[in-house]
Amino acid sequence: MEMVPGKFRRPFERAPSTTVTRTGEENLRPAALGGRELVVARVNKTFPAQPAALQQIRAFIRERASKTSFYPDVAEDLVLAVSEACANSVRHSRTAAIEVSWRRTVDGAEVEVLDEGVFETRDALPAAGLGYGIVMMKALVDEVVIEEGTGSRPGTRVKLVMRGRSAPPSSPTSFARR
């Protein structure tokens, strides 16, 4: 099967697997680093599309977020939003695997959740305690972008962006302490 850059297009082989790729010439020099260079890398990890994998996905995002300057509660908001996006993939995609992609940005982080499913449009009013996931994700992170998979072009992509809510440089979670 052919890999399309930036698009999850490979069958599930084993989980989880990790790839790290440089994102071009995106070397960042934020003031918080005192002019030091931060090389941005995208870390992709593939997980089985099964409920048991959600714990591994949360651990992966929590580990990546611990290397940023986010306040711990902000990092946990991102973990929860990613977990919800992945739970939706597990529940609705009917595919064997989910790819989770982490990328550090100058002012935060960007996480993409990709599957090979077809996006299912839901009723406007959630019923029986279900259907609040997208609303919750939008409340937890700064930006949620959903590229819906269709019957003719399967593959749903959810991009979650968390910006700017960083701990001060003296905090143990900041870049200055590395």
| pLDDT for res 38 | 52
User: Going by C-beta distance under 8 Å and a sequence separation of 6 or more, which residues neighbour residue 107?
Assistant: 30, 163, 164, 166
Length of the chain: 178
In 3D space, the residue among 85, 74, 49 whose CA is nearest the CA of residue 167 turns out to be: 74
pTM of the predicted model over 0.75: no
C-beta of residue 100 within 8 angstroms of C-beta of residue 139: no
Domain assignment of residue 152, yes or no: yes
Closest-CA residue to 77 (of 133, 141, 172): 141
Contact between 123 and 131 under an 8 Å Cβ cutoff? The reply is yes
- CA gap 176, 33 in Å, rounded: 7
Task: Identify whether 125 is part of a domain.
Answer: no
Considering the domain boundaries, does residue 10 fall inside one? no
166 occurs within a structural domain? yes
Torsion sign across C-alpha atoms 104, 106, 108, 110: negative
Matching residue, tokens 């930036």 = 6
Assess if residue 4 is contained within a domain. Answer: no
Instruction: Identify whether 9 is part of a domain.
Output: no
Residue 47 lies in a domain: yes
Number of domains composing the chain: 1
Domain housing 70: 17-120+130-177
Tens-binned pLDDT, residue by residue, of the chain (178 aa): 344 444 444 333 334 555 544 443 334 444 445 544 454 678 999 999 999 999 999 999 999 998 887 889 999 999 999 999 999 999 888 889 999 999 998 889 999 999 998 876 665 555 666 667 889 999 999 999 999 888 888 889 999 999 866 555 544 444 333 3
Query: Which CATH number covers residue 135?
Result: 3.30.565.10
Q: Which of 85, 94, 105, 100 is nearest to 32 (CA)?
A: 105
pLDDT for position 93:
83
**Is residue 7 in some structural domain?**
no
- Among residues 19, 31, 44, 109, the alpha carbon closest in space to that of 70 is found at 109
- The reported pLDDT for the residue numbered 144 is 95
Residue 71 CB-density burial (10 A; 0-12 exposed, 13-18 middle, 19+ buried): middle
pLDDT score, position 22: 43
User: CA 134, 118, 131 angle in degrees (round to 5)?
Assistant: 25
